[in-house]
Amino acid sequence: MRVALQPDTDIQYLKGVGPKLGAILRHRGVATVADLLEWYPRAYEDRRAMRNIASLEAGQVVSLEATVRSVRSMPMGKSHRRIYEIVIADSSGRIACKYFRVPYKGYFERFTTQQTVRVAGKVILYRGRLEFHHPDLQVVYEDDPKVADQLIPLYTDTEGLSPAKLRKLMQTALSELLDRPSSASSQPAMTEVMPVWMREKYQLLTRAQALKQIHQPPTEEAADYLKFRAPAQRRIIFEEFFWMELHMARRRLGMQREQAPAMAPAPKMIEQLKKSLPFALTNAQLRVFKEIERDLSEPHPMHRLVQGDVGSGKTLVALLSTLVVKESGYQSAMMVPTEILAEQHFKSSERFLSPLGVRVACLTGTMKEREHSEIRERLVAGEIDLLIGTHALIENDVLFKKLGLVIIDEQHRFGVEQRMRLKKNQSPHFLVMTATPIPRTLAMTVYGDLDVSIIDEMPPGRSPIVTRKVFSSKRDLVFDFLYQQVKKGRQAYVIYPLVEESEKIDLKNAVSEYETLRARFPDLRIGLLHGKMKGDEKEAVMDLFRTGEIQVLVSTTVIEVGVDVPNANLIIIEHAERFGLSQLHQLRGRVGRGELKSYCVLVLGYAISEEAIQRADVIVGTTDGFKIAEADLEIRGPGEFLGRRQSGLPGFRMANLVRDITLLQEARAAARDILEHDPELREPHHKFIRDTMSVHSKAIVG
């Protein structure tokens, strides 16, 4: 007698799989039947909307059937990378399908001339011609569904598994698992984890209904499926968000139960620091400091995120906070992502705080053991009030006498685990800062364990930054402009994506171009900075640049965060297509830090994608970090923008943090509602949530 299929049945025992295909699926992360059903379609093809090539217009998302006319690959300018082009045609015309990266080895070998293919994707106008860029392109097989009015799910391509075969396996799994008579098993085939009250309140389908409709979408709901608004999609998206929000809400609840030292105000020291500044604090800085001051006075740990655009003055707010901690007899720690930034923060903090009696020290991984040992001894003796450093701060032998405040700069660079390791078995307050802005509603939801403050005002006297994009053919004009600026007494950065030449990718690199620029401009003082240099070498170069001894600094992204040289008014970013939007915005923030008119030039390489040009246009079009952040989320998705590993975000299979913001907020409300009434999840109707929670928490913390 054949055993009824269960969600945890090994995938190779599903009818039509077997050991060979089972191995392919397991390599893809599909080990069980449940894993297969959670391989959600990435899009849908609406065959009712089939078009011909002559009717296409830029910006349309279309589906059509055509014949392959040619398959070829071409070099990408001077690069080792290649562009793959498949030209397809029907009776009305022809169009090119271009790919700037290979989905997997052997992907393009599947296509030959005269094959019938089906293409689904967005029509792009690229340099005066209509094209598809990275469309879904599938060979039409004999066993494909022939019905013209179907809504067909499209899955991520996997080598060794045709789309038609995958759809057939989905139908088999759904039929055997969800369509069988209830008497076939004493247990329901698919466990429902959402309680009835939650499904009713948020109008959610059952999990079984959602899985069936996701893979067998009703054609009458085609418009909703194409926009990811169908009821089945809503249920899956809500559930993905719910586990994240429940995990964060429980973590927040745990934090609120912890004890922390309640700090007394320090009005005298605060006023002294304000008077010593050559400028007045902005209203936004004062507002955010009051929020921090209020948190520090509570007997449980502050966990606050401060967002502020490049140059908005977040660090000064953090230094004000250390004065409150010092006044109460506690120590502060500030962890930053790079040694250059640690040294810079140390020097500015010492300048502002030492006159007030605050003892500041710096600790980095490249310091000599003797210096390291001396700082550790002073720290544990309570002779250091503020310790600034890199990852060296989380080493086991770095111990504080009375740690009261932990400040994390550029928090997306550090993981939740690293943040917690800084506690050093004490109960400090936490202040985390980022210059990567996130829309407020999104930040409050994604960082559910943190209160959010925003410094939304820039200090007066900052110059606007003129941003331009140019292609490599105009490089000579760009460097002529650099020469003119330097001869006027200004300084400039030139940024490269690589330190040294690479055999794998043909990109300009800092070391070679440093020599090229020295030969081209022998009368300029040009310096080189990159991450492979020793700490004291990097600091020596930066000191020479700060004092004007170096006029042009050739560098990698080691200067991305925090470096402040007011006389530098030009930054040239070579191969700007290789950088993300938030990174380009951070790099641009190295100029415009004084009253000089400042410039940022994005130099784009050969034969780049439409997406790369789109990113450059965003940077050219605005200096507003929040607008750039929204565009970054939309273009590249949240994974890289937020730092999935660093921030603790799970890898969503269907949910999208931008598109699905309303569902995200509903899931957050549901998670908090549950914990408000049942913090330990002990009520009977929360049993499945409690049982499932540990699995999802592991996935989220990762």
What Rg value do the Cα atoms of the chain yield, rounded? 29
Whether 502 and 579 map to the same domain: the answer is yes
Range of the domain at 284: 267-455
Name residue, tokens 């042009």. Answer: 552
Q: What's the confidence (pLDDT) of residue 1?
A: 43
Taking phi over 0 as left and psi of -120 to 50 as alpha, with beta for the rest, 93 belongs to left
Residue 644 domain-assigned (yes or no):
no
- Neighbouring CB atoms inside 10 A of 43's CB total 16
Name residue, tokens 């930040």. Answer: 443
pLDDT band for position 61 (cuts 50, 70, 90): confident
Question: CATH code at 127?
Answer: 2.40.50.140
326: nearest Cα among 258, 268, 251: 268
Residue 639 domain-assigned (yes or no):
no
Q: Which amino acid is at 164?
A: A
Pick the range with the lowest mean pLDDT from 110-114, 356-360, 459-463: 459-463
Q: Residues 128, 130, 133, 139: is their CA dihedral positive or negative?
A: negative
Q: Residue 415 contacts by C-beta under 8 Å, 6 or more apart in sequence? A: 645, 646, 647, 648
Residue 121 domain-assigned (yes or no):
yes
Domain C-terminal end among 622, 649, 681: 622
pLDDT in tens, 444-499: 666 666 788 988 887 776 777 999 999 988 999 999 999 999 999 999 999 998 87
Whether 10 and 65 map to the same domain: the answer is no
Q: Greater confidence, 45 or 243?
A: 243
Cα–Cα distance measured from residue 288 to residue 432, given in angstroms and rounded to the nearest whole number = 13
Domain C-terminal end among 455, 484, 500: 455
- Neighbouring CB atoms inside 10 A of 620's CB total 14
Q: What's the confidence (pLDDT) of residue 403?
A: 95
Cα–Cα distance measured from residue 333 to residue 156, given in angstroms and rounded to the nearest whole number = 45
Average pLDDT of the residues in 230-242: 95
For residue 499, which phi and psi values (nearest 5 degrees)?
-80, -50
Residue 363 forms beta bridges with which residues? 389
Whether 414 and 533 map to the same domain: the answer is no
Whether 304 and 236 map to the same domain: the answer is no
Check whether 128 has a pLDDT greater than 60. Answer: yes
What secondary structure does DSSP assign to 84-105, as a single string? EEEEEEETTEEEEEEESS-SST
Whether 539 and 673 map to the same domain: the answer is no
Whether 292 and 387 map to the same domain: the answer is yes
Whether 176 and 218 map to the same domain: the answer is no
Number of H helices and E strands in the chain, helices first, is 24, 21
520: nearest Cα among 484, 485, 480, 493: 480
pLDDT in tens, 664-676: 889 989 998 998 8
Cα–Cα distance measured from residue 211 to residue 217, given in angstroms and rounded to the nearest whole number = 10
* 98, 104, 110, 112: CA torsion to nearest 10: 30
Highest mean pLDDT among 199-213, 329-343, 501-515, 666-680: 199-213
Q: What's the confidence (pLDDT) of residue 531?
A: 81
Helix (H) or strand (E) holding 471: strand 465-471
pLDDT in tens, 609-626: 677 888 899 999 988 887
Question: CATH code at 168?
Answer: 1.10.150
Cα–Cα distance measured from residue 384 to residue 502, given in angstroms and rounded to the nearest whole number = 44
Look up residue 530 and give its two tokens: 């990159």
pLDDT band for position 507 (cuts 50, 70, 90): low
Residue 611 domain-assigned (yes or no):
yes
Whether 485 and 604 map to the same domain: the answer is yes
Q: Residues 562, 567, 569, 571: is their CA dihedral positive or negative?
A: negative
Residue 608 domain-assigned (yes or no):
yes
pLDDT in tens, 542-569: 889 999 999 999 998 887 666 778 899 9
Q: What's the confidence (pLDDT) of residue 79?
A: 59
Residue 202 domain-assigned (yes or no):
no
Residue 599 domain-assigned (yes or no):
yes
Count up the domains in the chain and report the number.
Answer: 5
Name residue, tokens 């202040």. Answer: 431
Provide the edge-to-edge strand list for the sheet that holds 360-363.
360-363, 386-389, 331-335, 403-409, 429-434, 303-308, 451-455
Length of the chain: 702
Whether 334 and 358 map to the same domain: the answer is yes
Whether 232 and 282 map to the same domain: the answer is no
557: nearest Cα among 592, 518, 581, 584: 584
Contact call for residues 237 and 654 (beta carbons, < 8 A):
yes
Q: What's the confidence (pLDDT) of residue 637?
A: 56
* Residue 3 DSSP class: P
CA count, 13 A, side-chain hemisphere, 388: 26
Check whether 646 has a pLDDT greater than 50. Answer: no
Cα angle 200, 204, 207 (rounded to 5 degrees) comes to 120
Q: Is 370 helix (H, G, I), strand (E, B) or coil?
A: helix
HEC profile of 159-193: CCECHHHHHHHHHHHHHHHHCCCHHHCCCCCCCCC
Whether 126 and 221 map to the same domain: the answer is no
Name residue, tokens 């330097």. Answer: 486
Residue 94 domain-assigned (yes or no):
yes
Domain C-terminal end among 455, 481, 509: 455
- Neighbouring CB atoms inside 10 A of 489's CB total 11
CA count, 13 A, side-chain hemisphere, 445: 22
Whether 487 and 414 map to the same domain: the answer is no
Contact call for residues 16 and 169 (beta carbons, < 8 A):
yes
Distance between the two ends of the chain, CA-based, in angstroms?
A: 41
Question: CATH code at 324?
Answer: 3.40.50.300
Contact call for residues 225 and 217 (beta carbons, < 8 A):
yes
Q: Which amino acid is at 243?
A: W
